[in-house]
Structure formats: structure tokens, C-alpha cells
């Protein structure tokens, strides 16, 4: 393969040879060090072969000696293609202009993006990046010293612990890791922790404040759990009001009624996909690719819109890729057992989301199950362990 590519770049000829001593001619030429290949005898007693253009003029003495006639059939390779191109000046100019434009377009940063900022305003990062040369329409070679630019960015953004810069295609991406500041002594109003639900206390972790309940104690909604007063209640004037902090875990009870249909329409995807491309101008989308009839009637549609940017400003131009996934609505039938299992799974998931982070189901008991109007009904009792604390500000009228 490599030899063929080399021959193409150097250029070669396909020749037809005729005469009484063609075989002798070929043998003498080869002995003289001339490279011939793809030699074949044609039905009309002509010989066909291929030879590099640099060896072609070495054939002349052998042609005279063996009285062999030669006729050129084809010229193949880069030198001949280049000669044709040079004759077509308009085409040549357009070709080189295309190469230059492609090089320019891929050698320029079109957009700058900033990631990782929360406290630091993005505008501040964009402003300083532009100040040191990281901006749209900048040649990539100007940003080749990534390490130096990262150092300058970090020095120019005091609240940044680390700044990374990378060039991906035509986008310069700046990633900022902000400094973790020590917790500030903010003025927080004193507060108690009270129960937001009735429960039996299972565990406690009090970081600040005075706990007034114990494990296995039943508490009502709104009852005090952790007092924000420190100090003995009998020592008047010596109590200190603080912002109580901690977690109190309790067992909370729920009764849920779950309904699951035995027959349900669901999408059955056929595997057919169709992509359409749109040119975006303002709010208008102009379809430029993806025409044709659709075989299915039902599709899930996923749209991905991309906008062009000038610096940090979004321009009203861009493109959109719309992908349609075909499906056929299919009737799914469940048994009573399958419906009950699905209902319990969905109920558990929903209950844990409502109970909050760290919660867990201690007990699940189906109290009643019945079928009515093609639906399965479940009445379920749950015991859930969850954090039941709720903050209550301490007012002037509060007491210990």
C-alpha cells in the first residue's frame, strides 16, 4: 500500500507495447534497473505495463534496439493532477482559498467558556481572561503557553484556588476552583429545635444546644427537642441563648393507598431514528436537512439547540439537531402480583424522597389489597426512620 502511494505521488504511465521482440525488450529494460510492474499480455497480443515517469526516458535505446513500438494509454499521479489544476486558475485559486479559510477557522478561538464559579462572578473571569488575551477571534498559537496563562489567571482572580485552561476545538474552556473560606461568624438568631412530626425518638446527635428528650420517647409535632438555652434554668440571668444545631431521628408512621392499572399503554420503540437539522435565526428554525416521509405515527422528540457566541454574548444564530425515535403504542397487561410489586416499588421511592435525605423504611405492611375497575389497590402501613427536627426562633417571650 505504501509503495502504491509513493508511485502515485511521483506519477506513472500505463503503456501498450507491440512488436516482434517485446519479451526481449522487457527483459533488457529490467536488467538495466528500470522498474516495471503490472505486466500483462492482452488478447490482441499487446503487452501492457506500468512505469514511473522518471524511468520513461530510459526506454528509448532499448526501443530502437528491439524495434518495439510504444503507445501511452494513461497518465496517473499527483504531477499530472497538479498540471491540470495549474491550467484551471479559477479552480486552483478557490482550492487554496478553501484551504486557507479552513486553516483560519480551525486556528481561531471562537468562544470562551467558564466553569466552576459560584461566588466569583463569571463576568470577572471573562474580563480578566480578555485582558490577558483569552478572547474570541484570537489565534490558538497565541494561547500555546497554557501554563503561563493559567498562572496569570490565578494571580488575577484572588478568590481562585486553582485555574485550568484547555483548548477544545475552537472553544477555550476555563475551569475555576474557588478557595474554601473559613466559616464566617455570621449573626445567627438563637433558635430551638422542635419536632416537625409526631414520632418515637430512635437516635440523636446534638452539636449545640441542650437536649430535652431521650431515645425511645414519644414526641408530638411541635414539641421541643433541643433547647437553645444553655445554663441552669434556676440561675437567673446566667442562661445563654444559642442557635441549637443537631439531628434527631425518629420513627414516623404513614398509611398510603396505592393504585396501579392492570392494563397500560406504553411505548414500544421500533429502533427507527431520524435526524433533522435546522438553521436557527432568532426564534425561527429553518430546516436544511432531514426531509422525507416518516413511516411511523408516534415519535419521541429530542432537541439539542446550539447558539453562536461573541465573547460571552449569545448571538441570535445557531443550529438545532432534532432526533425522532419512532415507537408504536403497545398495550401492556400485568398480573395482580406484578401490579402490586410495581406499586410498592413506586411508593417506597416516593416516600423516601418525601422523608428526606438519610431516611430509611423500617417496616412495610400491606393492610389491604383489592381489584376494582381493572386496577389494583393497595393500602400499606409504613414505619420510616427520618430526621424530624425543625427550627424555631427564640423570641423575647420564650423561656427555658
What nine digits make up the cell of 352?
A: 423516601
How are beta strands 111-115 and 171-178 bridged, if at all?
A: parallel
78 by Cβ neighbours in 10 Å (0-12 / 13-18 / 19+) ranks as exposed
Q: What is the pLDDT along the chain (400 residues), one digit of tens a residue?
A: 456 667 787 888 888 888 888 888 888 888 888 888 888 888 777 888 888 888 888 888 888 888 888 888 788 887 887 777 766 666 666 667 767 766 666 778 888 888 888 888 888 888 888 888 888 888 888 888 888 888 888 888 888 888 888 888 778 888 988 877 654 444 468 899 999 999 999 999 988 888 999 999 999 999 999 988 887 655 545 678 888 888 999 999 999 999 999 998 888 888 788 888 888 777 677 777 777 676 667 888 888 887 776 655 666 777 888 888 888 888 888 999 999 999 899 889 988 888 888 899 999 999 999 999 889 999 999 999 999 999 888 876 555 4
Q: What are phi and psi of 382, to 5 degrees?
A: -120, 140
Decide if 320 contacts 283 (C-beta within 8 A).
no
Pick from 178, 162, 373, 169: nearest CA to 261: 373
167 with 140: CB under 8 angstroms? yes
Residue partners of 282: CB distance under 8 A and separation at least 6 = 316
For residue 267, the model assigns a pLDDT of 84
Prediction pTM value: 0.45
pLDDT of residue 296: 64
CA 261 to the chain's CA centroid: 37
Instruction: State the pLDDT at residue 67.
Output: 84
pLDDT for 249: 94
From CA 188, how far away is CA 184, in angstroms rounded? 11
Q: Could you tell me which of 355, 398, 358 has the C-alpha nearest to residue 199?
A: 355
**If we measure between CA atoms, which residue out of 14, 2, 57, 7 comes closest to residue 32?**
57
Report the alpha-carbon distance of residue 241 to residue 270 in Å, rounded. Answer: 66
DSSP-derived 3-state class of residue 38: strand
pLDDT given for residue 187 in this prediction = 47
Q: What are phi and psi of 329, to 5 degrees?
A: -60, 125
Amino acid at each position: 500500500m505504501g509503495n502504491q502511494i509513493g508511485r502515485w505521488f511521483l506519477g506513472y504511465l500505463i503503456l501498450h507495447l507491440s512488436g516482434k521482440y517485446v519479451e526481449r525488450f522487457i527483459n533488457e529494460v529490467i536488467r538495466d534497473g528500470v522498474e516495471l510492474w503490472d505486466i500483462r499480455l492482452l488478447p490482441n497480443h499487446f503487452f501492457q505495463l506500468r512505469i514511473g515517469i522518471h524511468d520513461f526516458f530510459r526506454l528509448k535505446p532499448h526501443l530502437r534496439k528491439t524495434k518495439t513500438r510504444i503507445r501511452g494509454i494513461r497518465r496517473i499521479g499527483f504531477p499530472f493532477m497538479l498540471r491540470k489544476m495549474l491550467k484551471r486558475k479559477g479552480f486552483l485559486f478557490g482550492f487554496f482559498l478553501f484551504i486557507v479559510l479552513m486553516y483560519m477557522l480551525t486556528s481561531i478561538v471562537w468562544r470562551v467558556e467558564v466553569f466552576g464559579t459560584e461566588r466569583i462572578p463569571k463576568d470577572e473571569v471573562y474580563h480578566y481572561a480578555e485582558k490577558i488575551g483569552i478572547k474570541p477571534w484570537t489565534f490558538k498559537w497565541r494561547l500555546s503557553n497554557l501554563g503561563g496563562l493559567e498562572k496569570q489567571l490565578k494571580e488575577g482572580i484572588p478568590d481562585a484556588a486553582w485555574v485550568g485552561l484547555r483548548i477544545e476545538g475552537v472553544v477555550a474552556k476555563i475551569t475555576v476552583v474557588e478557595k474554601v473560606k473559613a466559616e464566617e461568624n455570621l449573626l445567627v438568631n438563637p433558635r430551638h429545635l422542635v419536632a416537625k412530626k409526631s414520632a418515637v425518638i430512635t437516635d440523636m446527635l446534638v452539636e449545640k444546644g441542650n437536649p430535652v428528650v431521650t431515645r425511645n420517647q414519644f414526641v408530638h409535632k411541635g414539641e421541643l427537642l433541643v433547647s437553645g438555652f444553655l445554663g441552669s434554668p434556676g440561675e437567673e440571668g446566667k442562661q445563654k441563648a444559642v442557635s441549637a444545631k443537631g439531628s434527631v431521628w425518629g420513627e414516623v408512621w404513614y398509611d398510603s393507598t396505592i393504585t396501579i392499572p392492570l392494563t397500560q399503554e406504553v411505548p414500544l420503540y421500533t429502533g427507527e431514528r431520524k435526524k433533522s437539522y435546522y438553521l436557527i435565526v432568532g426564534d425561527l428554525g429553518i430546516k436544511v436537512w432531514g426531509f422525507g416521509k416518516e413511516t411511523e405515527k408516534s415519535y419521541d422528540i429530542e432537541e439539542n439547540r446550539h447558539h453562536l457566541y461573541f465573547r460571552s454574548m449569545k448571538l441570535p444564530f445557531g443550529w438545532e439537531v432534532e432526533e425522532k425515535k419512532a415507537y408504536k403504542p403497545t398495550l401492556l397487561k400485568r398480573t395482580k402480583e406484578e401490579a402490586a410489586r410495581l406499586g410498592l416499588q413506586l411508593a417506597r421511592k416516593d416516600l423516601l424522597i418525601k422523608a428526606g435525605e438519610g431516611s430509611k423504611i423500617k417496616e412495610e405492611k400491606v393492610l389491604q389489597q383489592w381489584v376494582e375497575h381493572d386496577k389494583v389497590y393497595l393500602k400499606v402501613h409504613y414505619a420510616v426512620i427520618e430526621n424530624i427536627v425543625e427550627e424555631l426562633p427564640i423570641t423575647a417571650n420564650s423561656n427555658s
